[in-house]
Amino acid sequence: MSFATVSFMEIIKKQYRYKLRAYSAVFTSFIVLQVIGLLFSTTMTGSAAGGSIGIDYQMTYYTNDVQLIFTFIWIFTSALLLTTTAYRNDDLTFVSTRLSSSISNIAFLATASIIGAIFTWLSHYFLYVVIYVVTGQQLVLETDALTVFDIAIGVVITMLYILLISSAGYFVGVLGQVHKAFRIIIPAIVFGIMINSINVPIVQNITAFFGMESSFLLFTLKVFIVSGALFYSATFLMNRLEGK
């Protein structure tokens, strides 16, 4: 391995370690959002009641979907922030290039995706504990007891979704830095999709492309290909920002 290659890798490692320490506020905001999401999740998301032979019952449904949505918003926003001028100027502390900066950003987002997936899954069970302690209700899981393997697969799938969204956020952020017009166009498009997502074909196609995939291996491959393409494109565009 050449000296230049070693030096380049060392720069990336130093930038990555620096960002883990310097960007601790990113993880603090994640914790805050998870707590807020937990408060929302403790309210019932659905209920049903019935009775038979003199026995009445009432069921209340709880889910941590809100926390998952907050996690997606958090990683997308965090990826956007990494592309801003203020964050890019932090890399001036090192003798670096836009390439090394972008690679260290991707490594940071990958780490954040792993942490986000683990804590989001843990919050799923913590929600049950909170509801039981606060309300005293008897909790019944809708599915059979999960094995360690099932939980591991769930964490990995969640991590892949978070990574995919982070790559989209990073790409969108870089577009906004390349040309200021994108800072107006992209939010307008996103807002339009949010208020009419059901009738937008591209949203339906993307949802089906990932969400309807039954094979774990194919799903993983799809995420790596799409997120890899977005990260690569963002890195390519980032090189055009040299000196800006």
Q: Per-residue pLDDT tens for 52-66?
A: 666 655 666 667 778
Report the chain's C-alpha Rg in angstroms: 21
Question: To the nearest whole number, what is the mean pLDDT of the chain?
Answer: 80
Q: Are 104 and 82 in contact (CB under 8 A)?
A: no
The reported pLDDT for the residue numbered 190 is 67
Q: Measuring CA to CA, which residue among 139, 4, 178 is closest to residue 59?
A: 139
Give dist(CA 60, CA 47) in Å, integer.
Answer: 4
Query: Would you call 123 exposed, middle or buried from its count of C-beta atoms within 10 A (0-12, 13-18, 19+)?
Result: buried
pLDDT of residue 233: 94
- The rounded distance, in Å, linking the Cα atoms of 30 and 166 is 14
How far is Cα 74 from Cα 173, in angstroms, rounded to an integer?
14
pLDDT 10s digits, 141-171: 555 566 788 888 989 999 999 999 999 999 9
d(CA 159, CA 108): 13
pLDDT attached to residue 62: 65
**Closest by Cα among 14, 38, 33, 41 to 75:** 33
In whole angstroms, give the CA distance from residue 99 to residue 118: 29
User: What is d(CA 2, CA 117) in angstroms, rounded to the nearest whole number?
Assistant: 37
Q: How far apart are CA 137 and CA 127, in angstroms?
A: 13
pLDDT for residue 1: 46
Pick out the chain residues at pLDDT < 70.
Answer: 1-6, 42-62, 92, 94-96, 132, 134-146, 190-200, 203, 241-244
